[in-house]
Structure formats: C-alpha cells, structure tokens
Amino acid sequence: MQREERTHQEQVRWLADKKPLFRDLLVVFRQWREALSGAGAGTDDLAGLRRSAQKWSVEASLIASEPVRLALDEVQAAFAAVEAQLRDGRVSVEESGVAARLGNGLSVLEDAMRAELKEILRGPRRGIRWRP
C-alpha cells in the first residue's frame, strides 16, 4: 500500500503539468486539423502547426500513461498520412473527409487523456492488499 501511495503522490505532482499540456496539445491538433481541412497542404501555417503538435506530443509522451501515448502515436500518424496525401495530390480536401477522419482520432486521444486525469484524481485503490 505504501508503494501505491507513493506512486499516486508522484502522479498528483505531475497533474499540474499534465492538464495544461494535454489542453495545449489538443488545441494545436484541432488547429492543424482545421488547416488541413480548409487550406490543404503547403502553407506556412500548416508547417508551424505540425511543428507545434510534434513539440507538444514529445512533451506529453514523456509524462503520459501508455494509453495516452498509444493514442497520441495513432493521431500523429493519421495527421502525417493525411497531410502527405493532400500534399502529393493523391486526394483532395473534398474527397478525403479530413475533418471527420482526424476528428475521430482526436476523440480517442481526448478520451484517453480524460481517463488518465480522472484516474489520478480518484486516488490509490484502498483495500487491495499485496500478499507475498
């Protein structure tokens, strides 16, 4: 129980960093999605949003749980694939359903982030005893 309590205390210390980081990450991914769905590829704004998303993704992956890291990897891969398809002209913005495709991934990521934050706030599980 002491080990579980120490783990929880460490998670609570990270909570103050995770909440704004997760928020900023979701905001930049939403901006990137809007840029992809509206402007297509090749704009300076698009490149800047991609760099911001990558920066925040690295930061989040350092302190996030495995479910968040996995969802984050999937979202990054989906965004990169859509951007490459648009840039190469393999699909047009109208054909690709960019907003819907990327929005689904963002929903999964947001759910994973919310679950992680709720778990931290819930605290350590009481009544579970470890028996050697």
Q: And the tokens for 52? A: 């911001």
Distance of alpha carbon 92 from alpha carbon 41, whole angstroms: 10
Give burial (CB, 10 Å; 0-12/13-18/19+) of 10.
Answer: exposed
pTM of the model: 0.74
What pLDDT is attached to residue 107? Answer: 93
Which CATH number is 2-122's, of 1.10.150.120, 3.40.50.920, 1.20.120.660, 1.10.287.3610? 1.20.120.660
Residues 6+ apart with CB under 8 A from 72: 25, 57, 60, 61, 64, 109
Q: What is the pLDDT of residues 32-63, one digit of tens each?
A: 888 887 754 455 688 899 999 999 999 999 88
Average predicted confidence (pLDDT) for the chain: 79
**pLDDT band at residue 128, thresholds of 50, 70 and 90?**
very low
CB 30 within 8 A of CB 36: no
72-104 pLDDT per residue, tens? 999 999 888 888 888 787 766 666 577 777 888
Q: Where are the domains of the chain?
A: 2-122
Between CA 48 and CA 95 the distance in angstroms is 24
